[in-house]
Structure 1
Amino acid sequence: MDNINDFRSELLKEDLYNINAKKYAEKIKNIGKVVIWGSGNGGQLVYNFLKKFDALENIKYYADNSKVKWGTKKNSLLVISPEEVVQEVKESSHICIILASQYLADIKKQLLSLGIEENIIDIKGFGLAKDYWTFKERTPYEIINSHMNDYEKVYSYLSDQRSKKVYLGILNSKISLDNEYLEGVADSEEDQYFDKDIIHLNENEVFCDCGSYNGDTLETFITLSDNKYKKYIAIEADKDIYGELNKRVEDNGYKNVETYNIACWNRKKVLKFQSAQTAGHVTENGDFSVQADTLNNILKDEEVSFLKMDIEGAEEMALKGASRVVGEIKPILAICLYHSLKDYYKLPLIIKNLNFEYKLFIRHYTDMVDTETVCYAIPNSRI
């Protein structure tokens, strides 16, 4: 079966966005007691979703692993400890625990270890609520169908069956608001950016880390490379996080590391930036200004061999500003796709347009949650 027919036959053909949202809310209404595990942003997303569908009546508590939150209230609901959740389960015959965190796989393991039965642990609500609030104007089904040829083209470019399974699984989970399509899709989060089946580091790597955060990827790279590399270029737009990055470099005595407090873009200009820890991003409503420039300029004297991007939705602009780097130098690329559904077709097609030689692979690194999806582009010389 050819790629396009395979793609069309496996892609969901019904818009299930509103159908499954209502069905889930009705299910929650019929449960005697509900605990939302996670009192942060994830818990708020779930709460807001259930409120929209008038399904708050049976929500009794938040739960959290953070001790400082125990005994506090959120949305007038008491935040309880894991031990108190166990007690609630013992006393209730009809209870559900909605895991409202991208770390739901780890939390599920924790709850199972506490003796809580799997059938009362809900791993669907968080992803459903997150995507429900993401797509306000057009459903994922409508977006995908309006760009069907582009998604098909990306699918046809993917170089292995694993990539195709990941790609279809994520698109179907979006269309259906059901993370059952992510079952078996994730690889170990420890392999992110350095997937052993795809990436083979050498001693001459010049690694450019766009969205370097506080140096977490730097630390992983140095460990995996056994401290044998040529240069590491860390680029971080958030001025406070940039300070943390430099402190980590200094404290650990890392050598041959250059850091830049700059945003990657398609031209040189000043942008507004919103600080948000791991999700800081360029936005017109940002709380401070940051200088932006192209990677063609920033890396003008560098023979970059590996280029990674996780820059919260600015990947399209940054890739367009890296036309020379990608087209002529041809580094390995590890580009995050998950910030926008449209990025799942836009970014791979930009890469192929800049350099058709690249072989494309897609891998995913959060179990049952559609975040941390990476498109790898490998030049023939590094296959």
Structure 2
Amino acid sequence: MLDNDALRRALDRLAERWERSANPTFRLFEDDRVAALDLGDRPLVLIGATPYARAFVAQAGALEIIAICDNNAAGKKLGPFDIVAESALADLKQQHPRLLAAMMVESKGAAAHFGAYCDAWHIEWLGLIHAFRRAGFAYPAVQAKFYDRLVESAWGRRDRWQSFAGALDDELSRGVFYSVLLFRLTGERRYLEAAHLASAAAGEPAWLRPTTTHVYVDGGAYDGDTVVKFIEKFGPAYDQIYAFEPDEANFALLEERTKHLPGIQRFRQGLYSDRRTLRFAAGNDQGSYVSEGGDIAIEVTAIDQVVDRPVTAIKLDVEGSEASALSGGASQISRNRPGLCISAYHQTDDLFDLPAQIASIAPGYKLSLRQFTPWLYDTNLYCHQGARP
């Protein structure tokens, strides 16, 4: 279980530090080790030949990048820079005593491994968020929606922290909320790692009312994994499943994976506020999103325009269109008050704005939060047991 009192005190200390500062900047929120580090006038090695590294290199300007370190791509180049294995870091440190490493990796394993390696060779290092914040660089387009204005959004809503925490239904949810805030303010992933472990141990909250027959809407059904998980959890207690997935390749996997299951309607469409055609940028698993400059066109529709049965459960993981999809299901939500499982991380402000939107559609829902990865992704909002007030 998370220590909510300690997390709350950590937030209070950050607020107090801000109030006491004669010239407050967001660097006040960083750990002392990180706050003391600057990119200028120091030779840099970027850790990971990733899209983040490519974006960083493209904006590097006068920064002195020595090399890129990536064990899987050693011997190749990224732009004009050599990619070296981690075994070269010790030599680089000897050649450049003031060497600074900047992490361009997201995964827990890679970040922990290279952080420990740098520590062993006394190489100071910045995490991914700190490196981009310090440089003032733009994130890659696909990832920008996750990272842009993280600290500004969290800190700018500090007058709503207490009321939001009070609206959450359980202590774990409050701890997850405090942990997400601390991560966004400080950039320190240890807060999300603890929230992830606690969430994984507890599992999902009881977000569905007991019923003999569920009507389930799965927005962002991907390859059918969440449809299968729903059926595994509730067994035969479903009457109809509506699965929406706009990506052609994912939709083919969805069809194949669920073709033997009864009571499933599959739509090669996304969920939105109404029926239309949108441009869509196809990225990695977390990176697809609606964009005017997107490389493909997708058809989208609204829950209320397609589903004509009383819905008991809605899951939305629609790559940043959650607010629009909620608008498109407002009639179902207000009339039938289904359990909701909503991704609350695709847009920086979603953590605060989506609960407010749901309350405006159907007041009285109880709210829970879970964090199902140790990184920025998969902060899930659950709205449940919503008897009419």
Deviation at 1:246, TM superposition (A): 2.1
Matches within 5 A, 1:290-301: 290-301=298-309
Deviation at 1:346, TM superposition (A): 0.7
Deviations along 1:109-146, one digit per CA (max 9) or x if unpaired, are 6669xx947656988522334666359xx955554455
Range with bigger deviation, 205-214 or 86-95: 86-95
Q: Cα 1:372–1:316, aligned 2, differ >3 Å: closer, same or farther? A: same
The alignment's TM-score, normalised by the length of structure 1, stands at 0.75
Out of 354, 372, 383, the residue aligned to residue 377 of structure 1 is 383
Q: In the alignment, which residue of structure 2 is the partner of 1:172? A: 182
Distance 2:298 2:203 in 1: 32
Q: In the alignment, which residue of structure 1 is the partner of 2:221? A: 212
Query: Which secondary structure does the structure 1 equivalent of 2:75 belong to?
Result: coil
Aligned pair 1:125/2:127, yes or no? yes
Q: Cα 1:18–1:268, aligned 2, differ >3 Å: closer, same or farther? A: same
Unpaired stretches in structure 1, ≥5 consecutive residues: none
Query: Which secondary structure does the structure 2 equivalent of 1:185 belong to?
Result: helix
Aligned pair 1:344/2:348, yes or no? no
Aligned pair 1:107/2:110, yes or no? yes
Q: In the alignment, which residue of structure 2 is the partner of 1:154? A: 164
Distance 2:241 2:80 in 1: 48
User: Contact (CA 8 Å) 2:71, 2:86: kept in 1 or not?
Assistant: no
Distance 1:363 1:334 in 2: 10
Deviation at 1:332, TM superposition (A): 1.6
Q: Cα 1:8–1:169, aligned 2, differ >3 Å: closer, same or farther? A: closer
Query: Which secondary structure does the structure 1 equivalent of 2:376 belong to?
Result: coil
Match of 1:304, as an amino acid?
V
Deviation at 1:6, TM superposition (A): 8.5
Range with bigger deviation, 167-176 or 144-153: 144-153
Q: In the alignment, which residue of structure 2 is the partner of 1:328? A: 335
Deviation at 1:287, TM superposition (A): 2.6
Q: In the alignment, which residue of structure 2 is the partner of 1:353? A: 360
Deviation at 1:32, TM superposition (A): 6.9
Aligned pair 1:287/2:295, yes or no? yes
Distance 1:44 1:266 in 2: 35
Out of 65, 79, 83, the residue aligned to residue 79 of structure 1 is 83
The alignment's TM-score, normalised by the length of structure 2, stands at 0.74
Deviation at 1:166, TM superposition (A): 2.1
User: Contact (CA 8 Å) 1:213, 1:245: kept in 2 or not?
Assistant: yes
Q: Cα 1:195–1:141, aligned 2, differ >3 Å: closer, same or farther? A: same
Matches within 5 A, 1:169-318: 169-182=179-192, 184-187=194-197, 195-198=203-206, 204-225=213-234, 229-250=238-259, 253-278=260-285, 279-301=287-309, 303-318=310-325
Q: Cα 1:107–1:145, aligned 2, differ >3 Å: closer, same or farther? A: closer
Deviations along 1:208-255, one digit per CA (max 9) or x if unpaired, are 2211222232344344456764443221122343233223334xx344
Identical positions, percent = 19
User: Contact (CA 8 Å) 2:214, 2:239: kept in 1 or not?
Assistant: yes
Range with bigger deviation, 180-189 or 283-292: 180-189
Q: Cα 1:159–1:122, aligned 2, differ >3 Å: closer, same or farther? A: farther
Q: Cα 1:55–1:351, aligned 2, differ >3 Å: closer, same or farther? A: same
Q: In the alignment, which residue of structure 1 is the partner of 2:47? A: 36
Query: Which secondary structure does the structure 1 equivalent of 2:345 belong to?
Result: coil
Match of 2:163, as an amino acid?
K
Match of 2:181, as an amino acid?
L
- How many residues are aligned here? 360
Q: Cα 1:48–1:150, aligned 2, differ >3 Å: closer, same or farther? A: farther
Match of 2:75, as an amino acid?
G
Distance 1:100 1:255 in 2: 45
Deviation at 1:88, TM superposition (A): 4.2
User: Contact (CA 8 Å) 1:99, 1:122: kept in 2 or not?
Assistant: no
Q: What RMSD, in angstroms, separates the aligned Cα atoms of the two structures?
A: 4.2
Match of 2:378, as an amino acid?
E
Query: Which secondary structure does the structure 2 equivalent of 1:339 belong to?
Result: coil
Query: Which secondary structure does the structure 2 equivalent of 1:363 belong to?
Result: strand
Query: Which secondary structure does the structure 1 equivalent of 2:194 belong to?
Result: coil
Query: Which secondary structure does the structure 2 equivalent of 1:325 belong to?
Result: helix
Matches within 5 A, 1:21-100: 26-27=37-38, 34-37=45-48, 39-47=49-57, 51=60, 54-57=62-65, 59-65=66-72, 69-80=73-84, 84-86=85-87, 88-89=89-90, 98-100=102-104
Distance 2:199 2:341 in 1: 14
Deviation at 1:333, TM superposition (A): 1.0
